[in-house]
Amino acid sequence: MKQLPDALQHVTESGLTLNLSPVRLVLVELALNVIADEMRNAGEPVNAPTFVVELAGGGHETLEHVYDPENGINTLEEPDDPRATAINYARWRAHEKALAKLETLQTERRLQEMFKQGVDFTMPKNIDGWEADVAEKSRGQAEIPPDEPGNGAERAFLWLWYTQLSQMDVQQVHLKLMVLSQGRLFSEEQFRELQESVQSNVANSVWSSFVETFGAPDGAEPGDGAEAVGPE
């Protein structure tokens, strides 16, 4: 059974060759911890809202609210104070919204950190205007550092991330990095099966989104025009 090499390549749909190497997944996860701190510093309620309990022996204790209807636990309700109950629920909804945002940011940052650690490529010279194009299309949400010493690696990554990668590229590179980072657990045949599965899932997802938005073309069946492409 032929084993995978210690490095792989991926050619993007735009024709850029990416050299891939194993990633230290523990370092990727550590890099995610900073996101929650950034959100807390920005005043977003990542931590559960709290309430104060008066202790029998005097003094008080601050506890986090718990909302778990399935197990009959709900500290948000204050039967004698409807206003306080409404405030508790509002704070809890804000907390849930912050957690959803945190999960989204961590998912994206996890991918980005893996690409930063495991992807190497040669950035073409004399590329003009891409920063303004990214800023315009992202409506100012994507910040590109200035072209100054020390910013080269970050600028190259952002150029790759925002201008060169299709949805299929991202999924394929992520798969290859994950496989490489697991060591020699996968054979070449197993990898091919995984790659074909990812390609098929992405294609089907795109097709489903198309059908949901525009409806299925006359005579078309799910999967038409979205057949998986074989491995490189």
Vertex 149: Cα angle to 147 and 155 (nearest 5): 45
The β-bridge partners of 68 are: 73
Please check the confidence at residue 220 and state whether its pLDDT lies above 70: no
Cβ–Cβ under 8 Å, residues 177 and 20: yes
pLDDT digits (tens, 9 = 90+) for 75-96: 999 999 999 999 999 999 999 9
Q: What pTM, to 2 d.p., does this model score? A: 0.68
pLDDT digits (tens, 9 = 90+) for 119-167: 999 998 888 899 999 999 998 888 899 999 999 999 999 999 999 999 8
Mean pLDDT (the chain) is 83
Q: Return the structure tokens found at 35.
A: 């996101």
Strand 73-74 and strand 67-68: the pairing is antiparallel
Cβ–Cβ under 8 Å, residues 226 and 210: no
Query: Which of 29-38, 144-153, 167-176, 182-191 is the least confident region?
Result: 182-191
pLDDT digits (tens, 9 = 90+) for 47-56: 999 999 988 8
Q: Return the structure tokens found at 161.
A: 């991330």
Look at 212 and 227; give whichever has higher pLDDT: 212
What's the rounded Cα separation, in Å, for the pair 61 and 75?
14
Quote the pLDDT of residue 2: 47
Distance linking the first and last C-alpha atoms of the chain: 19
Look at 107 and 198; give whichever has higher pLDDT: 107
Looking at this protein, which amino acid is placed at residue 157? F
Nearest to 10 by CA among 121, 123, 157: 121
Q: Where are the alpha helices (DSSP H) in the chain?
A: 25-41, 82-118, 130-137, 152-163, 167-181, 188-214
Query: Which of 26-35, 141-150, 222-231 is the least confident region?
Result: 222-231
